[in-house]
Structure 1
Amino acid sequence: MNPLAAAARSGTRRGLVEFRQSFVTTTDIFAAVFPTVILLVVMIFMRGATIGQTGFSLGTMSLSSVLGMTVAFNGMVTVSQQLAVEREDGTLLRAKAIPNGMFGYLIGKIVLVACLSVVSVLALLIPGTFLFDGLALTSVGAWLTLIWVLALGLIATMPIGAVLGSMFENPRNVGIMMLPIMGLVAISGIFGPLGEMSGWMQVLGQLFPIYWLGLGMRSALLPDSMAAVEIGGSWRTLETIGVLGIWAVIGLIVAPMVMRRMARRESGASMTERREKALQRIT
Structure 2
Amino acid sequence: MNPTTTALRAGWSRGLIELRQSLTNAGDLLNHFLWPVLMLIVTYFVRDVSFGDTGFELGTLVLPSILGMNSAMAMVTMSQLLTAEREDGTLLRAKATPNGMAGYFTGKIVFVSFGLIVDLAIFLIPGLLIVPGLSVGSADAWLTLIWVLALGLVATLPIGAVLGSIFASTRSQGLIMLPMMAMIATSGIFYPVTSLPDWVQWFAQIFPVYWLGLGMRSALLPDSAVTVEIGDSWRHLETIGVLGAWAVLGLVLAPIVLRRMARRESGSTVAERREKALQRVG
TM class, shorter-length: over 0.9
Amino acid at match of 1:216: G
Q: For residue 60 of structure 1, what is the aligned residue in structure 2?
A: 60
Q: State the shift of 1:25 in Å.
A: 2.4
Asked if the contact 2:13/2:107 (under 8 Å) is kept, the reply is yes
Q: Percent identity?
A: 59
Q: Report the TM-score, using the length of structure 1 for normalisation.
A: 0.98
**Which deviates more, 166-175 or 1-10?**
166-175
Amino acid at match of 2:163: L
Q: For residue 242 of structure 2, what is the aligned residue in structure 1?
A: 243
Q: State the shift of 1:124 in Å.
A: 1.1
Aligned Cα RMSD in Å?
0.8
Amino acid at match of 1:6: T
- Partners of 1:263 and 1:163 lie apart in 2 by 12
- Partners of 2:24 and 2:49 lie apart in 1 by 39
The within-5 A match list for 1:1-283 is 1-74=1-74, 76-283=75-282
Q: Could you report, residue by residue, the CA deviation over 1:217-259 in whole angstroms, capped at 9, with x for unpaired residues?
A: 0000000110111001010000000000000001000011111
- Partners of 2:101 and 2:28 lie apart in 1 by 26
- SS of alignment partner, residue 148 of structure 1: helix
Which blocks of at least 5 consecutive residues in structure 1 are unaligned? none
Amino acid at match of 2:218: S
Q: Could you report, residue by residue, the CA deviation over 1:239-282 in whole angstroms, capped at 9, with x for unpaired residues?
A: 00000000000100001111111001000000000000000000
- Partners of 2:252 and 2:25 lie apart in 1 by 37
- SS of alignment partner, residue 271 of structure 2: helix
Amino acid at match of 2:208: P
- SS of alignment partner, residue 136 of structure 1: coil
- Partners of 1:98 and 1:30 lie apart in 2 by 33
Q: Report the TM-score, using the length of structure 2 for normalisation.
A: 0.98
- Partners of 1:243 and 1:96 lie apart in 2 by 33
- Partners of 2:120 and 2:26 lie apart in 1 by 21
- SS of alignment partner, residue 47 of structure 2: coil
Q: State the shift of 1:35 in Å.
A: 1.2
Asked if the contact 2:15/2:107 (under 8 Å) is kept, the reply is yes
Amino acid at match of 1:16: L
Q: State the shift of 1:116 in Å.
A: 0.9
**Which deviates more, 171-180 or 141-150?**
171-180
Q: State the shift of 1:167 in Å.
A: 1.0
- Partners of 1:246 and 1:168 lie apart in 2 by 24
> Where do 4+ consecutive residues of structure 1 move more than 4 Å?
none
Q: Could you report, residue by residue, the CA deviation over 1:201-227 in whole angstroms, capped at 9, with x for unpaired residues?
A: 001000000000000000000001101
Q: State the shift of 1:169 in Å.
A: 1.6
Amino acid at match of 1:148: W
Q: State the shift of 1:26 in Å.
A: 2.0
- Partners of 2:63 and 2:128 lie apart in 1 by 10
Asked if the contact 2:47/2:130 (under 8 Å) is kept, the reply is no
Q: Could you report, residue by residue, the CA deviation over 1:157-178 in whole angstroms, capped at 9, with x for unpaired residues?
A: 0011111111112112112211
Q: State the shift of 1:24 in Å.
A: 2.3
- SS of alignment partner, residue 235 of structure 1: coil
- Partners of 2:223 and 2:38 lie apart in 1 by 28
**Which deviates more, 43-52 or 237-246?**
43-52
Asked if the contact 2:215/2:234 (under 8 Å) is kept, the reply is yes
Q: State the shift of 1:102 in Å.
A: 0.7
Amino acid at match of 1:152: L
